[in-house]
Amino acid sequence: MAEFYDKESVRAPMSQRLQRFEPPSDTQAIGALVSVTIDGKELKVPLGTTILEASKKVGVRIPTLCYHEDLCVAGVCRICVVEVEGQPRLQASCAYPITAPIKVKTHTRQVRQARRHILDLLLSKHYGECYACFRNNNCELQALAKEYGVDFFRFGHPEKPRYRIDRSSPSVIRDMDKCILCRRCVRTCIDLQEVGVLEVNQRSNRSKVITFGEKPLGDVICINCGQCINRCPTGALRANDPTDDVWAAIDDPTKHVVIQTAPSPRAGIGECFGLEPGVPLTFEMNTALRRCGFDKVFDTNFSADLTIIEEGTELLQRLHKALVQKDKMVRFPQFTSCSPGWVKFCEHFYPEFLDHLSSAKSPQQMFGAVIKTYYAKLNDLDPKNIVTVALMPCSAKKFECNRPEMCDSGYKDIDYGLTTRELAQMISEAGIYLPAMPKSDFDDPFGTATGSGVIFGATGGVMEAALRTVIELVCGIQVEDLFAHADITPVRGFDGIRFMELPIKKVGPVPELLKGLFEDWDWLVGATLKVAVAHGTANAKRVMEDIKAGGPCSECHFIEFMACPGGCLGGGGQPIPTSPEIRAARARAIYAEDAAYEVRKSHENPAIVRLYTEFLTEGPCSHLSHHLLHTAYTPRGKYIV
Q: Are 412 and 287 spatial neighbours (Cβ–Cβ below 8 Å)?
A: no
CATH of the domain at 58: 3.10.20.740
Which residues face 46 on adjacent strands? Answer: 33
Is 80 exceeded by the pLDDT of residue 640? no
Q: Are residues 247 and 381 in the same domain?
A: yes
Span 100-124, average pLDDT: 97
CATH of the domain at 266: 3.40.50.1780
**pLDDT digit string, tens, across residues 499-533:** 999 999 999 999 999 999 999 999 999 999 999 99
Considering only CA atoms, which of 587, 287, 591, 611 is closest in space to residue 448?
611
In angstroms, the CA 102 to CA 264 distance is 44
Per-residue pLDDT, 205: 84
Domain boundary at 239, 263, 285, which? 239
Per-residue pLDDT, 212: 86
Span 539-561, average pLDDT: 98
Per-residue pLDDT, 373: 98
Q: Are residues 100 and 129 in the same domain?
A: no
Is 70 exceeded by the pLDDT of residue 19? no
Residue 408 domain-assigned (yes or no)? yes
Q: Are 395 and 419 spatial neighbours (Cβ–Cβ below 8 Å)?
A: yes
Per-residue pLDDT, 9: 34
Count of structural domains within the chain? 3
Residue 491 domain-assigned (yes or no)? no
Find the helix or strand (DSSP H, E) in which 308 lies.
helix 300-323
**pLDDT digit string, tens, across residues 589-631:** 999 999 999 999 999 999 999 999 999 999 999 999 999 999 9
CB neighbours of 326 closer than 8 A, spacing ≥ 6?
none
Residue 207 domain-assigned (yes or no)? yes
Residue 530 domain-assigned (yes or no)? no
Lowest mean pLDDT among 109-113, 448-452, 460-464, 581-585: 448-452
Is 50 exceeded by the pLDDT of residue 636? no
In angstroms, the CA 620 to CA 41 distance is 65
Per-residue pLDDT, 31: 65
Is 50 exceeded by the pLDDT of residue 639? no
Pairing between strand 528-535 and 41-46? unpaired
Residue 355 domain-assigned (yes or no)? no
Is 80 exceeded by the pLDDT of residue 11? no
CATH of the domain at 173: 3.30.70.20
Q: Are residues 153 and 191 in the same domain?
A: yes
Per-residue pLDDT, 632: 66
Q: Are residues 234 and 135 in the same domain?
A: yes
Q: Are 115 and 122 spatial neighbours (Cβ–Cβ below 8 Å)?
A: no
Contacts 24+ apart (CB under 8 A), 38-43: 38/104, 38/106, 39/104, 39/105, 39/106, 39/107
Q: Are residues 228 and 249 in the same domain?
A: no
In angstroms, the CA 589 to CA 269 distance is 12
Residue 99 domain-assigned (yes or no)? yes
Q: Are residues 230 and 136 in the same domain?
A: yes
Which residues face 209 on adjacent strands? Answer: 200
Positions marked catalytic: 311, 314, 338, 358, 397, 400, 405, 568
Q: Are residues 75 and 160 in the same domain?
A: no
Find the helix or strand (DSSP H, E) in which 44 lies.
strand 41-46
Domain boundary at 382, 404, 436, which? 436
Is 70 exceeded by the pLDDT of residue 556? yes
Q: Are residues 26 and 163 in the same domain?
A: no
Per-residue pLDDT, 30: 59
Q: Are residues 234 and 169 in the same domain?
A: yes
Residue 155 domain-assigned (yes or no)? yes
**Chain centre to alpha carbon of residue 93:** 30
Q: Is 528 left (phi over 0), alpha (psi -120 to 50) or beta?
A: beta
Residue 82 domain-assigned (yes or no)? yes
Considering only CA atoms, which of 156, 134, 96, 213 is closest in space to residue 395?
134
Q: Which domain holds residue 369?
A: 243-302+364-436
Q: Are residues 128 and 30 in the same domain?
A: no
**Chain centre to alpha carbon of residue 462:** 13
DSSP 8-class letter at 188: I
Q: Are residues 176 and 292 in the same domain?
A: no
Per-residue pLDDT, 128: 87
Is 90 exceeded by the pLDDT of residue 53? yes
- What pLDDT band is residue 447 in, cutting at 50, 70 and 90? confident
Domain boundary at 436, 463, 486, which? 436
Span 201-230, average pLDDT: 94
Q: Are residues 253 and 373 in the same domain?
A: yes
DSSP 8-class letter at 509: P
Q: Are 177 and 124 spatial neighbours (Cβ–Cβ below 8 Å)?
A: no
In angstroms, the CA 330 to CA 355 distance is 9
**pLDDT digit string, tens, across residues 314-330:** 999 999 999 999 999 99
Span 482-487, average pLDDT: 96
CA distances from residue 581 to 48, 569, 578 in whole angstroms, order as listed: 22, 12, 8
Mean of the per-residue pLDDT values of the chain: 93
